[in-house]
Amino acid sequence: MIDVDDLIALVRNYNPRTNTDLIRGAYDYGRRMHDGQKRHSGEDYFTHPVAVAAILTEQRLDDATIVTALLHDTIEDTKSTFSEVARLFGEEVAELVDGVTKLTNLQLSSTETKQSENFRKLFMAMSKDLRVILVKLADRLHNMRTIKSLPAAKQARKARETMDIFAPLAGRMGMQWMREELEDLSFKVLNPEARSSIIRRFIALQRETGDVVHKITADIRSELERAGIDADVYGRAKKPYSIWRKMQEKQLAFSRLSDIYGFRIICRTDADCYRILGVIHQRWHAVPGRFKDYISQPKSNGYRSIHTTVSGRDGTRVEVQIRTRQMHEVAEAGVAAHWSYRDGERAQNPFAVDPARWVTSLTERFDNGEDHDEFLENVKLEMYSDQVFCFTPKGEVVQLPKGATPIDFAYAIHTRIGDACVGAKIDGIRVPLWTRLKNGQSVEIITAAGQRPQATWIDIVVTGRAKSAIRRSLREENRERFVKLGHELARVAFEHLGKKATDKALRTAAKTLGLPDETEVLARLGSAELAAREVIEAIYPDLAAQPSEEIDGNRSVVGLEADQSFRRANCCQPVPGERIVGITYRGQGVVVHAIDCPALAEFEDQPQRWVDLRWHSGRHAPTNTVSINLTIANGAGVLGRVCTLIGEQKANISDLTFVDRKPDFFRLIVELELRDAEHLHTVLKALEAESDVAQAERIRDLSRKP
């Protein structure tokens, strides 16, 4: 374990003015709090916080972050408290330690909790102080370096969580070295055979070709000296996981991979970067399509560099990165460069990104009321995406993920432009809205007054910002219809309990459910985002409890005489949850109609035949047949997906009839067995959301006999 004097020496290397008393005090306090605790390896537990602090000194971070690393497990795992840490080390450190503790308690890969909700909390913690996630990443890195002491099942779970969440997060923050190491450590756990295979092939390749890295590095240095350019040149073989991923993406064998070596040239000025690029391209052949200029178009996390891939006479491809010393510091530290120290002063690196602005840009588009699953989808899109750079007609640069479309481009400019988009031109030529953009293209968006986003756009766009804006617009468009439907569902649900769905009752439910008002409750009811049962439970938890036993279909209607039988009318097919009335037939018992069934008009002058009925309160069996009219795309597997979707909603298909076949669409009537009106609504909404379903509606047919 690193002793306190060695740790202080590591900090003094970049910050001679460090508060040694503060660090020494935190070291002694942390060791005392963790006294007697052991890691799975048998080592004293305090070796872990010290190792985390040492990792952070490599980033030249401030005293508060180093102290937080030393104390990051004290509040969670010892008798230490927030107030005690604040009293001894200050409010800033206490807040940081508390933030790391909360992150540690988020089970980001748990199947028992909502991963999307935890992702939202993670980003909320980041938005308060990004140093919290820097400590957490260093904590995860040390845990992955020492993962061998854990049981195999826990190793696999930690490695998968690291690969899925922490590695891409480190990359998104610009800490590429950490991303690569986290990925490779996870790869070693998740697929050790593949990793060993790649290492063995590397060794065999070196035997055949010699030390390629040394040869090429010497060649580059020689060319730069000849051109009179002062620069440092570094070369290395790429990490095993990076090679494995490339093999999987390109479906190539190891022997066919070319650019498995990377070289970095670090110089003094921006002008030198472009001079070096010219020297490299004169000496070696540039590979078309493999050039990226992140100096003129930097990444959002501050990363700047020129990337090019070249090939030599023997066909060996190598990637070359060219950057200045200041650019290199940001490339190594990413957003953490904001806190870096040099010679006791906060480093004034012009390329370091303001972390507050960076986190705001990452999270602002997710604060508009989207549900948590949508938030998770958007975050992952943002974290895993490569980038393309396109131009507006005025020459302004728009940065987008790889695979972005003109619709993404429009929303990147402004939500209003995206909503009104009707077409696009790329380099002056009209193109479909689903066209994938490429680097350097000029994009012009064509708009029209009154245009609204189309539901199909959801499947076209790739950016979280565009998806959020489209869904928000679609929700607003449907909101009035959803509110009306929700009002009816609420009325029926409350009547089952002998209650009324008053505005006051709905406001109470809204408060309990954490929603702004009663209108939002109704809108979510109508859009199937909220079940009527949840609204009832929010106000009357005892009354809302449903019997575990399903109601017998033969006694599902209340209001019949003892000797009366009933059946549901074929014309309106009423289901539990809808208001009903009975019509008596001699020798046929009672036929149950929906209260709004047009067929009732013919019985207006026969009041003696009307019977006041209602559905039995409780859980009905899924035996109520309802016919729906379905129009679906004529495509391979579409019908199968639709049937599967219906099954996923716990509904049974009792009959299916094709009524119209066209080259592009099929129309069919599907007979479903359902529980109640809420069940029917859930199925219809699920079908309407399916991109291959053009129409899904309930059939009420007067031509059918009652």
pLDDT at residue 379 tops 60: no
Q: Which residues contact 451 (CB under 8 A, 6 or more apart)?
A: 419, 420, 421, 422
Q: Is 61 exposed, middle or buried (0-12, 13-18, 19+ CB in 10 A)?
A: buried
- How is the chain split into domains, by residue range? 4-190, 194-346, 472-539, 553-615, 624-698
Mean pLDDT over residues 518-547, rounded? 74
Reported confidence tier of residue 445, pLDDT bands at 50, 70, 90: very high
Q: How confident is the model over 505-514, as pLDDT tens digits?
A: 888 888 888 8
Q: What percent of the chain has pLDDT over 70?
A: 84
Specify the pLDDT at position 629.
92
Which stretch, 111-120, 209-218, 226-235, 432-441, has highest mean pLDDT?
Answer: 226-235
Specify the pLDDT at position 46.
93
Specify the pLDDT at position 221.
93
Distance CA 149, CA 40 (A): 6
Mean pLDDT over residues 30-49, rounded? 91
96 close to 135: Cβ distance less than 8 angstroms = yes
pLDDT at residue 304 tops 60: yes
- Give the residue among 617, 57, 42 at the shortest CA–CA distance from 336: 57
Task: Residues 194-346: name the CATH superfamily.
Answer: Beta Polymerase, domain 2 (3.30.460.10)
Sheet holding 443-447, edge to edge: 429-431, 421-426, 443-447
Sheet holding 306-311, edge to edge: 232-237, 261-267, 317-324, 306-311, 285-293
pTM of the entire predicted model: 0.54
Look at the alpha carbons of 592, 594, 595, 600 in this order and tell me if their dihedral is positive or negative. Answer: negative
More confident residue, 68 or 649: 68
Specify the pLDDT at position 343.
54
pLDDT at residue 142 tops 80: yes
Reported confidence tier of residue 120, pLDDT bands at 50, 70, 90: low
Reported confidence tier of residue 117, pLDDT bands at 50, 70, 90: low
Mean pLDDT over residues 104-119, rounded? 53
Q: How confident is the model over 645-687, as pLDDT tens digits?
A: 888 788 899 888 888 888 788 889 999 999 888 889 888 887 8
Report residue 487 as tokens.
Answer: 């009002």
Q: What is the dihedral of CA 187, 193, 196, 200, to 10 degrees?
A: -140
- CA distances 166 to 109, 119, 135, 160, 230, Å, are 11, 11, 12, 10, 37
Mean pLDDT over residues 152-178, rounded? 83
Distance CA 60, CA 342 (A): 8
Specify the pLDDT at position 109.
52
pLDDT at residue 53 tops 70: yes
Distance CA 236, CA 187 (A): 19
Distance CA 131, CA 99 (A): 9
Q: Is 631 exposed, middle or buried (0-12, 13-18, 19+ CB in 10 A)?
A: middle
Specify the pLDDT at position 573.
92
pLDDT at residue 462 tops 90: no
Q: How confident is the model over 189-239, as pLDDT tens digits?
A: 988 888 888 888 777 777 766 677 888 899 999 999 999 999 999 988 778
Specify the pLDDT at position 384.
47
Distance CA 419, CA 413 (A): 11
Catalytic residue among 58, 77, 374, 419: 77
Reported confidence tier of residue 339, pLDDT bands at 50, 70, 90: low
Q: What is the DSSP letter of 28?
A: H
Catalytic residue among 58, 76, 534, 688: 76
Q: Which residue shows structure tokens 């060993």?
A: 196
Specify the pLDDT at position 357.
61
| CATH architecture group of domain 4-190 | Orthogonal Bundle (1.10)
- Give the residue among 357, 332, 337 at the shortest CA–CA distance from 349: 337
Reported confidence tier of residue 341, pLDDT bands at 50, 70, 90: low
Mean pLDDT over residues 285-297, rounded? 83
- Round the average pLDDT of the chain to a whole number and report it: 82
Q: Residue 699: count other Cβ atoms within 10 Å of its Cβ.
A: 16
Specify the pLDDT at position 143.
93
Examine the residue annotation and report whether 76 is marked as an active-site residue of this protein. yes
Reported confidence tier of residue 59, pLDDT bands at 50, 70, 90: confident
Specify the pLDDT at position 272.
94
Distance CA 219, CA 225 (A): 10
Mean pLDDT over residues 346-370, rounded? 57
Specify the pLDDT at position 16.
87
More confident residue, 97 or 686: 97
Specify the pLDDT at position 113.
42
Q: How confident is the model over 231-284, as pLDDT tens digits?
A: 999 988 778 888 787 776 655 555 555 567 789 999 999 999 999 999 999 998
Q: 4-190 and 194-346 share one CATH topology?
A: no
Distance CA 602, CA 486 (A): 30
Of the listed ranges 172-176, 369-373, 512-516, 572-576, the one predicted with least confidence:
369-373
Q: What percent of the chain has pLDDT over 90?
A: 26
CA-angle at 244, arms to 243 and 247, nearest 5°: 90
583 close to 567: Cβ distance less than 8 angstroms = no
Mean pLDDT over residues 583-591, rounded? 85
Examine the residue annotation and report whether 408 is marked as an active-site residue of this protein. no
Mean pLDDT over residues 306-332, rounded? 83
Q: What number does CATH give the domain 624-698?
A: 3.30.70.260
Specify the pLDDT at position 110.
45
- Give the residue among 6, 8, 43 at the shortest CA–CA distance from 22: 8
DSSP track, 438-498: -TT-BEEEEE-TT----GGGGGT---HHHHHHHHHHHHHHHHHHHHHHHHHHHHHHHHHTT
Mean pLDDT over residues 438-460, rounded? 86
Reported confidence tier of residue 363, pLDDT bands at 50, 70, 90: low
Q: Is 606 exposed, middle or buried (0-12, 13-18, 19+ CB in 10 A)?
A: exposed
